[in-house]
Structure 1
Amino acid sequence: MTDRPDLPLLVTGATGVLGREVLRHARATGRPVRALTRRTAPPADADTHWYTGDFTAGTGLDPAFTGADAVIHCASDPRHPKNDLPAFRHLLEAARRAGVRHVVNISIVGVDRIPLAYYRIKRQGEELLAASGLGWTNLRATQFPQLLDGMLRPLGRLPVLPMPSRTPVQPVDPAEVAARLVALALGDPVGHAPDLAGPETRPATDLAAAWLRARGSRRPVLPVHLPGRAGRLLREGALTSPGHADGTRTWDDYLAARH
Structure 2
Amino acid sequence: MFSLQNKVAVITGGGSGIGKAISLLFAKQGAAVHIIELNTDAATDVVAEIITAGGKAQAHAGNVTDQAAISAIFNGIGKVDILVNNAGIAHVGNLENTGEADFERIFQVNVKGAYNCLYAAVPLMKQNGGGAILNMASIAAHVGITDRFAYSMSKGAIFAMTLSVARDYLKDNIRCNSISPARVHTPFVDGFIAKNYPDNQAEIFEKLSKSQPIGRMAKPDEIASLALYLCADEAGFTTGTDYPIDGGFITLNN
- TM tier, smaller: 0.5 to 0.7
Instruction: Indicate the residue corresponding to 1:8 in structure 2.
Output: 8
Deviates more, 1:146-155 or 1:69-78: 146-155
**Matched residues, percent identical?**
14
Whether the aligned pair in 2 keeps the contact of 1:34 and 1:64 (CA below 8 Å) is no
Instruction: Indicate the residue corresponding to 1:137 in structure 2.
Output: 177
Matched, 1:103 2:145: no
**Letter matched to residue 175 of structure 1:** D
TM-score if structure 1 supplies the norm length?
Answer: 0.66
Matched, 1:33 2:29: no
Q: Name structure 2 gaps, 5 residues minimum.
A: 92-104, 170-174
Please state which structure has a larger fraction of its residues in helix: 2
1:14-63 CA distance string (max 9 Å, x none): 11311111111111102222212134462774531222333201113324
Q: Name structure 1 gaps, 5 residues minimum.
A: 202-239, 244-259
Find the aligned partners of 2:10 and 2:59 in 1 and give their Cα distance.
Answer: 10
What is the SS of the residue equivalent to 1:139? strand
Find the aligned partners of 1:140 and 1:74 in 2 and give their Cα distance.
Answer: 11
Q: CA RMSD in A?
A: 3.4
Whether the aligned pair in 1 keeps the contact of 2:7 and 2:31 (CA below 8 Å) is yes
Find the aligned partners of 1:9 and 1:162 in 2 and give their Cα distance.
Answer: 36
Shift of 1:73: 1.5
Alpha-carbon spacing, 1:67–1:159, altered in 2? closer, same or farther (3 Å) = closer
1:71 pairs with 80, 83, 86, which one? 83
What is the SS of the residue equivalent to 2:218? coil
Whether the aligned pair in 1 keeps the contact of 2:79 and 2:124 (CA below 8 Å) is yes
Alpha-carbon spacing, 1:176–1:160, altered in 2? closer, same or farther (3 Å) = closer
1:86-117 CA distance string (max 9 Å, x none): 21221111012212511111211131332721
Shift of 1:159: 11
Instruction: Indicate the residue corresponding to 2:222 in structure 1.
Output: 176
Instruction: Indicate the residue corresponding to 2:231 in structure 1.
Output: 185
Find the aligned partners of 1:67 and 1:159 in 2 and give their Cα distance.
Answer: 44
Superposed, which structure 2 residues align to 1:1-259 within 5 Å? 5-40=5-40, 42=44, 45=51, 46-58=55-67, 59=69, 60-63=72-75, 66-78=78-90, 80-83=105-108, 84-99=110-125, 101-114=131-144, 116-132=149-165, 133-134=168-169, 135-146=175-186, 149-153=190-194, 155=197, 157=199, 169-170=211-212, 171-186=217-232, 187-188=235-236, 189-198=238-247, 240-242=249-251
Find the aligned partners of 2:122 and 2:15 in 1 and give their Cα distance.
Answer: 24
What is the SS of the residue equivalent to 1:81? helix
Find the aligned partners of 1:54 and 1:139 in 2 and give their Cα distance.
Answer: 22
- Structure with larger Rg: 1
Find the aligned partners of 1:98 and 1:91 in 2 and give their Cα distance.
Answer: 11
Find the aligned partners of 1:128 and 1:182 in 2 and give their Cα distance.
Answer: 20
